[in-house]
Amino acid sequence: MSQITVYEKPTCSKCREVDKILREAGADYEKINYYTKPLTAKKLKELLDKMNMPAKELLRKTEAVYKELGLSKKDLTDKEYIDLMVKHPDLIQRPIVERGAKAVLGRPVENIQPLLK
């Protein structure tokens, strides 16, 4: 089985919950703090494709930067949303858990269960 990769912000409560679930399951995984090792636009698009999710759905709508950029009033392309998330990582919902050809948003944390099988 391929290794699990968790894209996270270490201070995020959901990220810590996912970490606990993976440790308790004895899973082989790597954590990547996307604040210290930023996601590229290419990688973020790849993760969105694996989640079968439009970029707009990955936005954290409660973040100050979301409001400052007026994103609730804009209808941008996936590429434009991805570019904004790369520039402002606070806009990215987290954690994103990837295993091979699949990825899920670990919010709620139960979403990661299929990747453990």
Instruction: Give the whole-angstrom CA distance, residue 102 versus residue 19.
Output: 18
What is the rounded average pLDDT of the residues 63-82?
Answer: 96
12 is catalytic: yes
The mean predicted confidence, pLDDT, of the chain is: 96
User: Pick from 25, 77, 21: which is nearest to 48 by CA?
Assistant: 77
**Residue 32: pLDDT above 80?**
yes
pLDDT of residue 5: 97
Residues of the chain above pLDDT 70, percent: 99
Domain residue extents for the chain: 4-116
- Catalytic residue chosen out of the listed positions 9, 10, 12, 101: 12
- The C-alpha atoms of residue 100 and residue 76 are separated, in whole angstroms, by 29
Contact 112, 97 (CB under 8 A): yes
CATH level 2 (architecture), domain 4-116? 3-Layer(aba) Sandwich (3.40)
DSSP notation for 20-87? HHHHHHT--EEEEETTTSPPPHHHHHHHHHHHT--GGGGB-TTSHHHHHTTGGG----HHHHHHHHHH
Answer yes or no: is pLDDT of 1 > 60: no
Confidence of residue 117 (pLDDT cuts 50, 70, 90): confident
**What's the confidence (pLDDT) of residue 33?**
98
